[in-house]
Amino acid sequence: MTAGAGAQVGLPRRTLLRRSSAALHRRPWLRLGGLLSAPLLWLGVAYLGSLAALLVTSFWSTDTFTGDVVRVWTLENFRQLWVEDVYRTVVLRTVGIAATVTVIDALLAFPIAFYMAKVAPPRVQKALVVAVLMPLWASYLVKAYAWRIMVSESGVVDSVIGVTPGFGLVAATLTLAYLWLPFMILPLFAGLQRLPDSLLDASGDLGAGPAFTFRSVVLPSVLPALVAGSIFTFSLSLGDYITVEIVGGPSQLLGNVVYDNIGAANNLPFAAAMASVTVAVMVCYLAAVRRTGALDNL
Amino acid sequence: MATRFTQAGSMRSLAGSSVLLAVAACGTSGGEESTDTSSGGGLAAPDLPMLQEVGASEDELNILAWPGYAESGQTVPSVDWVTPFEDKTGCQVNVKDFGTSDEAVSLMKTGEYDVVSASGDASLRLIAAGDVEPVNTELVPNYADVAEFLKQRAWNSVDDQMYGIPHGWGANPLMFNTDEVTPAPDSWSVVFEADSPYAGEITAYDSPIYIADAAMYLKATQPDLGIEDPYALDEDQLAAAVDLLEQQRANISEYWSSATQEVSAFRSGDTVVGTTWQYNASLAQSKGTPVKTVVPKEGITGWSDTWMVATDSEHKNCAYMWLDWIVSPQINAEATEWFGEAPANLKACDLASDENFCETYHANDEAYSEGIYYWNTPIAECLDGRTDVTCTDYSDWTTAWTEIKG
């Protein structure tokens, strides 16, 4: 476009711009709507919409032979979930593993976070934050396969301590605990930083020992942060299926059943019903932790 | 999940020939009941038209294939029969690999693919769903050279109408680590029995179709169950197979669903014995793992693969060009020799780099071929012809498989 042409169209464009800006100024709701419509569309359609689609699909069924989805309402999927023992076992096993991973991560993360927040000099603290974040830069798959090699028959674990758990639930729990550890350390670190040192000193001055201080001062004040971290570790473990596939041996978790029903069995409605269990467990968990104030700490 | 391999040595010399020869002996045992499976009976196929004329290239072709079936030089630069096809026809090829038949069926439902290399446990499902259409074999000149015993079979045709072009066939032998497993096993009991000396180091194929391997073992070891065809199981027979597989599960190191997964477990020593494909065995051998394959005395399951054309394909001319290309003598030789299976086109025998290729895989041996229990899709109407009971269908098998894994 030449400069002359630019000057010609420049004038009307400016008035258009000015006019629309004036219109926006007169109507604050339009301003707000324009600003929020994209994120709201994302949240409403892509995020909640897909959840709704999941819920709807779980009430359909598939033609057993051709695998086509039959769009007729039925509770059959949920009946099967309830009646067949194997699914209850899988759900309980999955929740159990998610809880174990969360406990392991909490036990490992607390001393690290405490050292980072209260003991380490500023430079060490910064280095530690980087060190904690560093594993997040590596691919999830690389880390899971690294654990596969470590726990395998001729792996590092075997040659160093002489025994390996082999592929199975123990290896899966260890790997998941390793993978999600940073998600527990960071909220705890932030929570402990907010805890004034003077409170610890005061507790000591009043004659409380370390254990008592921990129980009655530190723990109550970092509990929301702890719960916030547990939301991450718990929910990430609950839905994971790749780690189990790689190091879990013959075991299956909820995510594997969902995956197998999509990939192998081609039964989307049942996969949706199974996945809604995860959603239900998470909703219950979030409802339970809401009162601790953890949701303000995420 | 696409599975691609980088592989150094040649697969060709590694056919495990001595072992495959052994099957000729037991090959006749299962022969009699599979001879009457002339065409897919009891199946209502949607009435779909087939192509009447191959026109101009559409410039694009999307292939859904077993790993190793559509090589474009990405695995090993010299192994490439996709690029010459592109040069010849102008059809730009996109290849997607799949690891199990179930994955293939589910991917075909996306409508993204024009042709698929379907095994017998997928083909009937694809036909019934209307996902694939009848194939006009007159438009595939090389079809004339395909072995007669592969034409109009239960897994590739309905009422004598072909739904695809045969590609090749092979078996699922027992692979074992020669250092760890001595003496060499001659029975599937090493993977199924609770007191197997290799408990905890056993692998199995992660798909409901593996139930047929257990049924085949039961057919030989527990004749009282009356199993004729491992793909035609009534409820009691399926329950017996499930019991056997649950007993096996306690001894499983891990189930494999991709060749790389099984090879890596054999290499690390986590697995020392289990069902395999010749492809996996060759891959493991080429990486220096001491493994061998055998055909156990109870028999063997296998597959016979068919290239099928998607009903909704927008590139049907290219699809037919591919069908004719892949089953042409030279290309069929390259593709099946690379994978390690018997070629469908018997003219491929003379063009293979290993002159014993077709003998090794019994390509022209109809009796051997009939001895294999080919993957088939279990349906309610018993495939073995029984009419007094209802058989368990594939969805029952899928549910059973979830229960077995626990």
- B144-196, pLDDT tens digit by residue? 999 999 999 888 998 889 999 999 998 899 999 999 999 999 999 999 999 99
Query: Do residue B183 and residue B82 come from a single domain?
Result: no
The domain total for chain B is: 2
Calculate the average pLDDT of chain A: 87
Query: Do residue A34 and residue A106 come from a single domain?
Result: no
B25 within a domain of the structure (yes/no): no
Which domain, by its residues, includes B129?
A: 60-170+302-364
DSSP-derived 3-state class of residue A255: helix
Q: What's residue A162's pLDDT?
A: 84
Query: Do residue B266 and residue B391 come from a single domain?
Result: yes
Task: Give the pLDDT confidence of A141-168 residue by residue, as tens digits.
Answer: 999 999 999 998 888 888 888 888 888 9
Q: What's residue A9's pLDDT?
A: 52
Does the beta-carbon distance from A249 to B105 stay under 8 Å?
A: no
- Chain B residues in contact with A68 by the CB 8 A cut-off are 109, 129
Does the beta-carbon distance from A262 to B106 stay under 8 Å?
A: yes
Query: Do residue B347 and residue B209 come from a single domain?
Result: no
Length of chain B: 406
Q: Which of A66, A150, A158 to mutate to test the interface with B (most CBs of B within 10 A)?
A: A66
Distance from CA of A75 to the nearest CA of B (A): 17
Average pLDDT over residues B101-129: 90
Which domain, by its residues, includes A32?
A: 11-70
Interface of A with B (CB under 8 A): 62-68, 84, 86-87, 89-90, 149, 152-155, 166-167, 248-252, 257, 260, 262-267
Does the beta-carbon distance from B253 to A166 stay under 8 Å?
A: yes
A1 within a domain of the structure (yes/no): no
**Which residue in chain B has the smallest CA separation from A246?**
B261
Residue B80 main-chain phi, psi, to 5 deg: -155, 105
Does the beta-carbon distance from A266 to B255 stay under 8 Å?
A: no
Query: Do residue A198 and residue A51 come from a single domain?
Result: no
Average pLDDT over residues B233-258: 94
Amino acid at A52: A
DSSP-derived 3-state class of residue B339: helix
Which position has the higher pLDDT, B20 or A297?
A297
Q: Which residue of B102, B395, B406 is in closest CB contact with A86?
A: B406
B259 within a domain of the structure (yes/no): yes
Residue B243 main-chain phi, psi, to 5 deg: -60, -45
CATH number, domain containing residue A205: 1.10.3720.10
A138: pLDDT strictly greater than 60:
yes
Query: Do residue B253 and residue B157 come from a single domain?
Result: no
Query: Do residue B315 and residue B192 come from a single domain?
Result: no
Q: Which residue of A86, A89, A263 is in closest CB contact with B106?
A: A263
Query: Do residue A53 and residue A184 come from a single domain?
Result: no
B7: pLDDT strictly greater than 70:
no
Least confidently predicted of A35-49, B4-18, B43-57, B360-374: B4-18
Does the beta-carbon distance from A260 to B402 stay under 8 Å?
A: yes
d(CA A196, CA A194): 6
B39 within a domain of the structure (yes/no): no
Query: Do residue B307 and residue B254 come from a single domain?
Result: no
A6: pLDDT strictly greater than 60:
no
Distance from CA of A237 to the nearest CA of B (A): 19
**Which residue in chain A has the smallest CA separation from B127?**
A66
Query: Do residue A266 and residue A185 come from a single domain?
Result: yes
Distance from CA of B222 to the nearest CA of A (A): 26
A235 within a domain of the structure (yes/no): yes
Query: Do residue A41 and residue A118 come from a single domain?
Result: no
Does the beta-carbon distance from B393 to A166 stay under 8 Å?
A: no
Q: Which residue carries 């470590």 as its tokens?
A: A150
Distance from CA of B28 to the nearest CA of A (A): 31
Query: Do residue B292 and residue B215 come from a single domain?
Result: yes
d(CA A123, CA A111): 18
B132: pLDDT strictly greater than 60:
yes
The secondary element (H helix, E strand) that includes residue B373 is: strand B373-374
A76 within a domain of the structure (yes/no): no
Does the beta-carbon distance from A264 to B200 stay under 8 Å?
A: no
Query: Do residue A16 and residue A123 come from a single domain?
Result: no
Task: Tell me which of A70, A93, A111 is where a domain ends.
Answer: A70
d(CA B397, CA B100): 15
A221 within a domain of the structure (yes/no): yes
**Which residue in chain B has the smallest CA separation from A61?**
B395
Which contacts of A133-141 are long-range, i.e. CB under 8 A and separated by 24 or more positions? A133/A182, A133/A186, A135/A181, A135/A182, A136/A182, A140/A179, A140/A242, A141/A242, A141/A246
B10: pLDDT strictly greater than 70:
no
Query: Do residue A284 and residue A245 come from a single domain?
Result: yes
Query: Do residue A245 and residue A119 come from a single domain?
Result: yes
Query: Do residue B244 and residue B386 come from a single domain?
Result: yes
Residue B183 main-chain phi, psi, to 5 deg: -70, 165
A5 within a domain of the structure (yes/no): no
Query: Do residue A135 and residue A195 come from a single domain?
Result: yes
Among B257, B254, B297, B306, which Cα is nearest to B277's?
B257
> Binning pLDDT at 50, 70 and 90, where does residue A16 land?
confident
Query: Do residue A168 and residue A288 come from a single domain?
Result: yes
Query: Do residue B274 and residue B205 come from a single domain?
Result: yes
Q: What's residue B193's pLDDT?
A: 95
Which position has the higher pLDDT, B363 or B224?
B224
Does the beta-carbon distance from A265 to B102 stay under 8 Å?
A: yes
A79 within a domain of the structure (yes/no): no
Pairing type for strands B60-65 and B92-97 reads parallel
Return left, alpha or beta for B304; rule: phi > 0 is left, psi -120 to 50 is alpha, else beta: beta
Does the beta-carbon distance from B406 to A89 stay under 8 Å?
A: yes
CATH number, domain containing residue B199: 3.40.190.10
The alpha helices in B7-113, defined as continuous H runs, are 17-21, 23-26, 31-34, 83-89, 101-108
Among A28, A131, A89, which Cα is nearest to A252's?
A89
Q: Which residue of B125, B252, B269 is in closest CB contact with A65?
A: B125
Query: Do residue B248 and residue B396 come from a single domain?
Result: yes
Query: Do residue A142 and residue A239 come from a single domain?
Result: yes
Distance from CA of A252 to the nearest CA of B (A): 7
Which position has the higher pLDDT, A21 or B330?
B330
Count Cβ–Cβ pairs < 8 Å, chain A vs chain B. 90
Q: Which of B395, B396, B397, B404 to mutate to test the interface with A (most CBs of A within 10 A)?
A: B395
**Which residue in chain B has the smallest CA separation from A261?**
B398
Does the beta-carbon distance from A67 to B249 stay under 8 Å?
A: no
Q: What's residue A43's pLDDT?
A: 85
**Which residue in chain B has the smallest CA separation from A262?**
B106
Task: Give the pLDDT confidence of A193-247 residue by residue, as tens digits.
Answer: 999 999 989 998 999 888 999 999 999 899 989 999 999 999 999 999 999 989 9
B28 within a domain of the structure (yes/no): no
Q: What's residue B17's pLDDT?
A: 39
Does the beta-carbon distance from A250 to B253 stay under 8 Å?
A: yes
- Chain B residues in contact with A77 by the CB 8 A cut-off are none
Query: Do residue B157 and residue B68 come from a single domain?
Result: yes
B9: pLDDT strictly greater than 60:
no
**Which residue in chain A has the smallest CA separation from B261?**
A246
The domain total for chain A is: 2
Question: Does residue B383 contact residue B229 with C-beta atoms inside 8 Å?
Answer: yes
Does the beta-carbon distance from B102 to A84 stay under 8 Å?
A: no
Q: Give Dmax over CA atoms of chain A in angstroms.
A: 84
Pairing type for strands B301-310 and B373-374 reads parallel
A181: pLDDT strictly greater than 60:
yes
Percent of chain B clearing pLDDT 90 (strictly above): 57
B4 within a domain of the structure (yes/no): no
Q: What's residue B376's pLDDT?
A: 87
Q: Which residue of A68, A87, A264 is in closest CB contact with B129?
A: A68
A23 within a domain of the structure (yes/no): yes
B18: pLDDT strictly greater than 60:
no
Query: Do residue B310 and residue B348 come from a single domain?
Result: yes
**Which residue in chain A has the smallest CA separation from B270?**
A153
A6 within a domain of the structure (yes/no): no
Query: Do residue A156 and residue A229 come from a single domain?
Result: yes
Does the beta-carbon distance from A64 to B395 stay under 8 Å?
A: yes
Does the beta-carbon distance from B269 to A86 stay under 8 Å?
A: no
